[in-house]
């Protein structure tokens, strides 16, 4: 295992605890401000102002919400399964917390620098479902149960394209490290992108990763497990107060976690465009900016796009994303095996990404949706 130097020369485990505490505290502040930021951003998309009353431009709104949530009554339904119900928020939160442990926010700025970083992230994220299932089963509510079933089905389906799209990148790191052996270490993956981020080489893989990420996060258009207009919040419908805020914390923490993860793997992390030798503050700012960009896009999509149906969601995963991601994997393998130039990688992946986008657009335009209103815009245009 690679370890960065312990802070102040402390023993390794004290150093780890200090780092964990720092990450958790910073994450909490981030979560509080990302709820505020999301509300502001969504409000702007909807031609509103968003929170304005608490502090200047409503800046303290997040803290006010947090205090309100902590002070709320913690309600447990009568026919809930007590321990399952009460432990579920923690069971969802811990895996997300664990993923934050391996993310490099700048060079060696992270809790631990694992050799198996990428593998660790998706191994631990798999456990996330357990907490959701516990919430759904323990609540004694049918909406919650339905939400949990949907969440489990969806997360299992989308984990495969997610993992395969990451493997595409890991394959390429093998060509970059020089010895032909790829790396799963997130820090190394970031450092390898000093010259160009992997999104240039693998746009298709990034598209697949981004889509699968939206699904894993239960964000629109894949927010089927929490669909407010159908099952009113899904698996956390029965939670209130602090336990509900644990779910919110999990949601936003995992959103940031995925954003940092995606920016490290695809967007060059802290290394691109300022190089591996830049100042740590610049590196931190770079990572933050990239993660923020991903988060903003997630929120943007949420405000504009309706929700898919569960069967359409499954079809999209199993019939489009899975095939494309495996195709990308095979093409990468061929190109890397014969040592063809990397421009070919970029080209094939870009063609694939173009194909994916074309598929979606053709699907929409083939149905000539724009015609109907146009016919009735003027008088007598449609009179028979």
Partner 1 sequence: MATEVIWWIFALGIIALSAGVVFSRSVIHSAIFLIGSLAGVGVMFVILTVEFLALTQFLIYGGAVTVLVLLALMLTRADPSGRAEKVNGPQAPFALLAGIGVAAVLLVAALSTEWAGNTESPTNIAIEAISQRLFEDFGLPFILASVLLLVALVGAIIVARQEEGE
Partner 2 sequence: MSIWPEERVHALADDGFETVDMTINVGPQHPATHGVFRMVLTVDGEKVVDCEPYIGYLHRGLEKLTENHDYRQAMGWWDRTDYLAGMACEMAYCMAVEKLGNISVPLRAEYIRVMMVELSRILSHFMFFGAFGADVGSFGTSFIYGWRERERIYDFFEEVAGDRMFPTYFRPGGVQMDLPENYQDRVRWLLGSIRQGLEDFDGLLVGNEIFVERCRGLSPVTPEQAIAWGLTGPCLRATGYKFDLRKDEPYSVYPNLKFDIPTGANGDVFDRFMVRMAEAWQSTLIVEQCLDALSQMEGELVLNPDLPKTLRIDSGECYVRTEGTKGEYGVYALAKGGNKPYRMKLRSPSFCNLSALREMVIGTYVADAIIILGSLDIVLGEVDK
142: contact with partner 2 by CB under 8 A: yes
Least gap, CB of 357 to partner 1 (angstroms): 30
Minimum CB distance to partner 2 smaller for 160 or for 314: 314
Least gap, CB of 10 to partner 1 (angstroms): 16
What is the SS3 string spanning the chain? CECCCCHHHCCHHHHHHHHHHHHHHHHHHHHHHHHHHHHHHHHHHCCCCCCCCCCHHHCCHHHHHHHHHHHCCCCCCCCCCHHHHHHHHHHHHHHHHHHHCCCCCECCECCCECCCHHHHHHHHHHCHHHHHHHHHHHCCCHHHHHHHHHHHHHHHHHHHHHHHHHHHHHHHHHHHHCCCCCCCCHHHHHHHCCCCCHHHHCHHHHHHHHHHHHHHCCCCCCCHHHCHHHHCCHHHCCCCHHHHHHHHHHHHHHHHHHHHHHHHHCCCCCCCCCCCCCCHHHHHHHHHHHHHHHHHHHHHHHHHCCCCCHHHHHHHHHHHHHHHHHHHHHHHHHHHHCCCCHHHHHHHHHHHHHHHHHHHHHHHHCCCCCHHHHHCCCCCCCCC
Least gap, CB of 92 to partner 2 (angstroms): 22
- Catalog residues that contact partner 1 under the rule CB under 8 A: 1, 79-81, 83-84, 114-116, 119-120, 122-124, 126-127, 129-130, 133-134, 136-138, 140, 142, 145, 148-149, 152-153, 156, 181, 184
- Binding letters toward partner 2, positions 203-222, x by CB under 8 A: -----------------xx-
Q: Which position among 303, 326, 344, 346 is part of the footprint of partner 2 (CB under 8 A)?
A: 303
Minimum CB distance to partner 1 smaller for 66 or for 265: 265
Q: Which position among 10, 17, 45, 279 is part of the footprint of partner 2 (CB under 8 A)?
A: 45
Please, are residues 188 and 165 in contact by the beta-carbon 8 Å criterion? no
Minimum CB distance to partner 2 smaller for 95 or for 233: 233
In sequence order, the 6+-apart residues with CB closer than 8 A to the CB of 245 are 66, 69, 70
Tell me which residue has tokens 């909490």.
Answer: 28
Minimum CB distance to partner 2 smaller for 53 or for 363: 363
Q: Which position among 14, 312, 330, 347 is part of the footprint of partner 2 (CB under 8 A)?
A: 312
Asked if residue 342 has a cis previous peptide bond (ω within 30° of 0), the answer is no
Q: Which stretch binds partner 2 (CB under 8 A): 130-138, 172-180, 326-334, 358-366?
A: 358-366
Least gap, CB of 31 to partner 1 (angstroms): 24
46 contact, one of partner 2, partner 1, none, CB 5-8 Å limit per kind: partner 2
Minimum CB distance to partner 1 smaller for 38 or for 216: 216
213 contact, one of partner 1, partner 2, none, CB 5-8 Å limit per kind: none
40 contact, one of partner 2, partner 1, none, CB 5-8 Å limit per kind: none
**Does the CA dihedral 288-182-175-350 come out positive or negative?**
negative
Q: Which position among 17, 29, 49, 360 is part of the footprint of partner 2 (CB under 8 A)?
A: 360
Please, are residues 210 and 255 in contact by the beta-carbon 8 Å criterion? no
232: contact with partner 2 by CB under 8 A: yes
127 contact, one of partner 1, partner 2, none, CB 5-8 Å limit per kind: partner 1
- The count of chain residues that interact with partner 2, using the rule CB under 8 A, is 49
164 contact, one of partner 1, partner 2, none, CB 5-8 Å limit per kind: none
Binding site for partner 2 (CB under 8 A): 42, 45-48, 142-143, 145-146, 150, 220-221, 223-224, 227-232, 302-312, 360-361, 363-364, 367, 369-370, 372-373, 375-377, 379-384
């Amino acid at each position: 295992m690679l370890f960065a130097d312990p802070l102040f020369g402390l023993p390794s485990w004290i150093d780890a605890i200090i780092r964990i505490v720092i990450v958790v505290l910073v994450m909490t502040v981030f979560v509080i401000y990302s709820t505020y930021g999301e509300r502001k951003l969504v409000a702007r998309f909807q031609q509103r102002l968003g929170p304005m009353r608490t502090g200047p431009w409503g800046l303290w709104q997040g803290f006010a919400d947090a205090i309100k949530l902590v002070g709320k009554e913690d309600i447990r339904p009568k026919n809930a399964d007590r321990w399952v119900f009460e432990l579920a928020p923690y069971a969802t939160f811990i895996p997300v917390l664990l993923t934050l442990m391996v993310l490099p926010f700048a060079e060696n700025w992270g809790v631990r620098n694992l050799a198996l970083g990428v593998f660790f992230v998706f191994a631990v994220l798999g456990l996330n479902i357990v907490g959701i299932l516990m919430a759904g089963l323990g609540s004694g509510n049918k909406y919650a149960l339905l939400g949990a079933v949907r969440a489990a089905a969806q997360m299992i389906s989308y984990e495969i394209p997610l993992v395969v799209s990451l493997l595409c990148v890991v394959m390429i790191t093998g060509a970059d490290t020089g010895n032909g052996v790829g790396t799963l270490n997130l820090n190394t993956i970031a450092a390898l992108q000093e010259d160009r981020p992997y999104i240039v080489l693998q746009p298709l893989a990034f598209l697949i990763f981004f889509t699968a990420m939206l699904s894993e996060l239960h964000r629109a258009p894949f927010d089927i497990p929490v669909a407010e207009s159908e099952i009113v919040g899904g698996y956390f419908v029965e939670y209130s107060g602090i336990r509900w805020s644990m779910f919110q914390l999990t949601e936003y923490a995992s959103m940031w976690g995925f954003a940092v993860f995606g920016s490290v793997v695809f967007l060059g992390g802290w290394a691109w465009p300022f190089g591996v030798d830049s100042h740590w503050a610049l590196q931190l700012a770079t990572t933050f900016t990239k993660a923020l960009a991903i988060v903003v896009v997630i929120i943007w999509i949420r405000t504009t796009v309706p929700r898919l149906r569960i069967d359409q969601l499954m079809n999209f995963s199993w019939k489009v994303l899975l095939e494309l991601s495996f195709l990308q994997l095979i093409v990468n393998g061929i190109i890397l095996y014969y040592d063809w130039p990397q421009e070919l990688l970029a080209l094939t992946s870009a063609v694939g990404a173009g194909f994916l986008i074309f598929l979606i657009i053709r699907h929409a335009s083939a149905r000539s949706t724009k015609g109907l209103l146009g016919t009735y815009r003027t008088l007598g245009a449609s009179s028979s």
